[in-house]
């Protein structure tokens, strides 16, 4: 089976959520290696807090992002926070920076593939590295785009690539938590940008709904022709519990109860909603206690 690791871009503001993710990995995926990419300025705090964790490698964003992008990222925050002079041009917001970190790390990763877990994702059942494979083929989750937001994410990917929109007749959704991609896919994507002579980072930052997953999804299915992948057509909610939008906030108690019952393999609890981390942590501890000594179910290996 090809090698795979978990990759998580994060920063000090998500340290509490990242701690919960680590607890879920230690409980349900203890043999799964993880690489955490942290903002350079946050590296000392993450090293001191998580440096002793097993199977965890913590690296600085400066080790992943090209120098010019890291330079702009560091100067895109509030001046009182960075104490640095801003530079002219488009700022790099935190979520844009994390998307770029994923793309650049994947292209240089020492593993054959990566499973991307954001800080606000939890593992809810036992899994191993083989979870993301069917034989030697990596699972690629997707579905047809079903609403305007999903369509806009895919349209943005085509605009970044420079594809003529009048020729695009099918739009897809690749945003799943987690999402898995092969290293070769990022390498092929970057080669395509170079071939087309696209100033793709500038175009990426201009998009309101840029998505690294949609760029990689296009590269995997079109540029690589699906080689090395097993496409899994399903809904995101088939893979994970979700409190993703403001409208979902009222369902938090219900979702936490479902997490306790281990109905699904993962949970996405959107950090930008500022949910009660203590409440989530309590639900996870109850889940872990209920799971102690239980054998992995079918979902752990499918």
Amino acid 80: pLDDT: 39
Amino acid 301: pLDDT: 31
**pLDDT tens digits, one per residue of 44-91:** 999 999 999 999 999 999 999 999 999 889 888 665 344 455 565 667
**Cα separation values, 213 from 37, 106, 140, 161, 285, Å:** 17, 12, 10, 13, 31
Question: Which has more confidence, 137 or 272?
Answer: 137
Confidence of residue 9 (pLDDT cuts 50, 70, 90): very high
Amino acid 298: pLDDT: 38
Confidence of residue 254 (pLDDT cuts 50, 70, 90): confident
What is the rounded distance in angstroms from the CA atom of residue 236 to the CA atom of residue 255?
Answer: 15
Confidence of residue 1 (pLDDT cuts 50, 70, 90): confident
Classified as helix, coil or strand, 130 is: helix
Amino acid 282: pLDDT: 87
Query: DSSP secondary structure string, 223-241?
Result: ISTTTTEEEEE--HHHHEE
Confidence of residue 26 (pLDDT cuts 50, 70, 90): very high
Instruction: Judge contact between 26 and 291, C-beta under 8 A.
Output: no
Amino acid 83: pLDDT: 47
pLDDT over 60 at 28, yes or no: yes
**pLDDT tens digits, one per residue of 126-182:** 999 999 999 999 999 999 999 999 999 999 999 999 999 999 999 999 999 999 999
**pLDDT tens digits, one per residue of 179-236:** 999 999 999 999 999 999 888 999 999 999 999 999 999 999 999 999 999 999 999 9
Amino acid 42: pLDDT: 95
User: Residue ranges of the alpha helices (H) in 135-224?
Assistant: 148-161, 183-196, 200-206, 212-218
Facing residues of 7 across strands?
35, 116
What is the rounded distance in angstroms from the CA atom of residue 161 to the CA atom of residue 155?
Answer: 10
Amino acid 148: pLDDT: 96
Sign of the torsion angle spanned by Cα atoms 295, 298, 300, 301: positive
Best-predicted range by mean pLDDT among 166-180, 249-263, 282-296?
166-180
Amino acid 115: pLDDT: 98
Q: Of the candidates 16, 45, 13, 22, which has an alpha carbon nearest to the alpha carbon of residue 276?
A: 16
Amino acid 79: pLDDT: 53
What is the rounded distance in angstroms from the CA atom of residue 99 to the CA atom of residue 8?
Answer: 10
Confidence of residue 259 (pLDDT cuts 50, 70, 90): confident
**What are the structural domains, with CATH classification, of the chain?**
4-293 (3.90.550.10)
């Amino acid at each position: 089976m090809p090698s795979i690791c978990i990759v998580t871009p994060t920063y000090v503001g998500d340290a509490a959520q990242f701690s919960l993710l680590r607890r879920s990995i230690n409980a349900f995926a203890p043999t799964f290696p993880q690489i955490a990419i942290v903002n350079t300025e946050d590296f000392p705090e993450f090293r001191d807090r998580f440096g002793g964790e097993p199977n965890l490698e913590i690296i600085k964003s400066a080790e992943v992002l090209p120098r010019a992008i890291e330079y702009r990222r560091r100067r895109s925050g509030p001046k009182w926070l960075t104490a640095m002079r801003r530079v002219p041009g488009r700022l790099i917001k935190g979520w844009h920076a994390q998307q770029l970190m994923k793309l650049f790390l994947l292209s240089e990763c020492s593993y054959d593939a990566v499973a991307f877990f954001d800080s606000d994702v939890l593992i809810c059942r036992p899994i191993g590295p083989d979870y993301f494979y069917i034989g030697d083929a990596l699972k690629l989750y997707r579905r047809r785009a079903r609403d305007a937001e999903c369509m806009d994410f895919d349209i943005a990917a085509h605009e970044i690539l420079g594809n003529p929109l009048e020729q695009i007749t099918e739009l897809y959704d690749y945003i799943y938590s987690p999402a898995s991609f092969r290293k070769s896919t990022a390498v092929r994507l970057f080669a395509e940008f170079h071939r087309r002579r696209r100033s793709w980072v500038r175009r990426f930052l201009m998009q309101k709904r840029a998505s690294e997953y949609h760029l990689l999804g296009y590269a995997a299915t079109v540029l690589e022709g699906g080689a090395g992948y097993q496409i899994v057509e399903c809904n995101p909610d088939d893979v994970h519990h979700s409190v993703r939008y403001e409208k979902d906030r009222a369902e938090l108690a219900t979702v936490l109860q479902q997490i306790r019952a281990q109905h699904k393999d993962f949970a996405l609890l959107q950090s930008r909603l500022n949910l009660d981390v203590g409440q989530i942590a309590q639900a996870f501890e109850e889940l872990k206690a209920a799971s102690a000594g239980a054998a992995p179910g079918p979902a752990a290996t499918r």
